[in-house]
Amino acid sequence: MSFDKLQDRILTLKNPTVAGLDARLDYVPEHIRAEKIAQYGQTRKAAAEAIYTFNCGLMDALCDIVPAVKPQSAYYENLGWEGMLERTIRYAKEKGFYVIADIKRGDIGSTATAYAEGWLGKTVVGDVTLPGFDADCVTVNGYMGSDAVKPFLTVAEEEDKSLFVLVRTSNPSAVDLQDQEING
């Protein structure tokens, strides 16, 4: 499985750190934002390009130090299709990073299969097989049961990829559900 790739990279760099790529426009330095807004106007395209430029700079600075990056998909999705992170993942892989797509998907059936194929696997269009986002690993939410996880496991095994399954969270209100005692 691809966790061996992550482990090898951790051992090579002697560092278990994962750099989160939580792409909020207000995290990007003003000079990069201004440049992209001048180029594309006050648009989602400008925001996405500013974030991409900033992320590339971060990855350039970290690629010899940090073994993995973890882009949080929600921050890209909120920018529409211009903000999708396919280019960020591709750049990260070119720089040698192990890519953990923080997608926390947890649907079932054909929808879970489509997510798994899109993030870890491939899609067939006519006679052509095309890669999806091509992350090395994804985060999934197992609260809907094994039906929500199995499609990811199947695709991960086929593609030599891996996944982290959310089983317990650290957010304060998680205890509302996670710490409930039922019948003792």
Catalytic residues: 104
Residue given tokens 């992320």 in the structure block: 55
Q: How much of the chain is in helix, strand and coil states, percent to nearest 5?
A: 55, 20, 30
Max Cα separation, the chain?
Answer: 62
Burial 92-117 (b: 16+ CB within 10 A, else e): beeeebbbbbbbebbbeeeebbbbbb
Going by C-alpha positions, the residue among 115, 69, 116, 67 that lies closest to residue 90 is 69
Q: Is 103 helix (H, G, I), strand (E, B) or coil?
A: strand
Contact 73, 80 (CB under 8 A): no
